Chains A and B, each alone.
Chain A
Amino acid sequence: MSDISIRNNALQSSTAAGKIKDGSRGGNAEFGTILKSKLNEINQLQLDADQAIANVQLGNSGSIHEAVVALEKADLSFRTMMQVRNKIIEAYQEIMRMQV
């Protein structure tokens, strides 16, 4: 996986990706590292949504719309991650099907 490096401005502009060491191909971070940091970000959004729901349920300073917005953020980021995962699996299977 570490051999695959991608050129993706959107990913590189994010905070976490900026700190990653440069890859061999002219300033591109390693794909695996970017993926990992994105996964952490998405996980954090899920945890935020959990916390927001807990705040509403416990009745301390949580409003419903904040919780719903947090849930939607978590949902959307998860969908994006699943889409990336599907593409990776697709690429992997494409390679595995290759005739040698």
Chain B
Amino acid sequence: MEFFTPFKICGDGLAAQRAKMDVIVSNIANVNTTRTPEGGPYKRKVVVFSTDSVDSSFDSKLKDAVKTVKVDGIEEAAANESVKMMHNPGHPDADERGFVAVPNINIVTEMVDMMLTNRAYEACVTAFDASKNMAVKTLDIGK
């Protein structure tokens, strides 16, 4: 059914925003993490989205224009920006000069990102409700 196309796109949008939220929460939770299995401190992660084609019975013109979203990958921030040195000689991971490599995560940036993600998720839900209302209204024709 054609009315399922917005459902699919909204569902993918919700999944994408949820994935972004997962990554932001991971960044916030690891704001003080100095040890990782790969060695070194935790590095800030960023989600990258890309478009994806929708399989539907649309007209050929609309078929290529309408795109859904998918998570393209979760990438680490650039190496020179991902770590900051903090002077803390008492820390077990401090080097000989007393500096500790900690993740360069700005909690304010993460919180703002989180709010944006939240709003985008809510927008997807609203779009879902609106498209469902359209479909239900269609069924009221002729009543």
- Residues of chain B touching chain A, judged by Cβ–Cβ distance below 8 Å, are 1, 3-4, 7-8, 10-11, 14-15, 18, 57, 128, 132, 135-136, 139
Chain A interface size band reads 10 to 19
Q: Which residues of A contact B10 (CB under 8 A)?
A: 69
- Main SS at interface, chain B: helix
Q: In the docked arrangement, what's the CA distance between A58 and B139, Å?
A: 35
Nearest-CB distance from B111 to chain A (Å)? 23
Q: How many Å lie between the Cα of A72 and that of B10 in the bound state?
A: 12
Given that A13-B57, A77-B1, A80-B139 are contacting pairs, would A72 and B132 also be in contact in the complex, using a CB cutoff of 8 Å? yes
A16 to chain B, nearest CB (A): 13
- Given A13-B57, A72-B132, A76-B132, the answer on whether A65 and B139 have CB atoms closer than 8 Å is no
Task: Check A65/B14 contact, CB under 8 A, given A13-B57, A76-B136.
Answer: yes
Min Cβ gap B129→A in Å is 9
Known pairs A63-B18, A72-B7; list 15 more (Cβ under 8 Å).
A63-B15, A65-B14, A69-B7, A69-B8, A69-B10, A69-B11, A73-B4, A73-B7, A76-B1, A76-B4, A76-B135, A76-B136, A77-B1, A79-B139, A80-B1
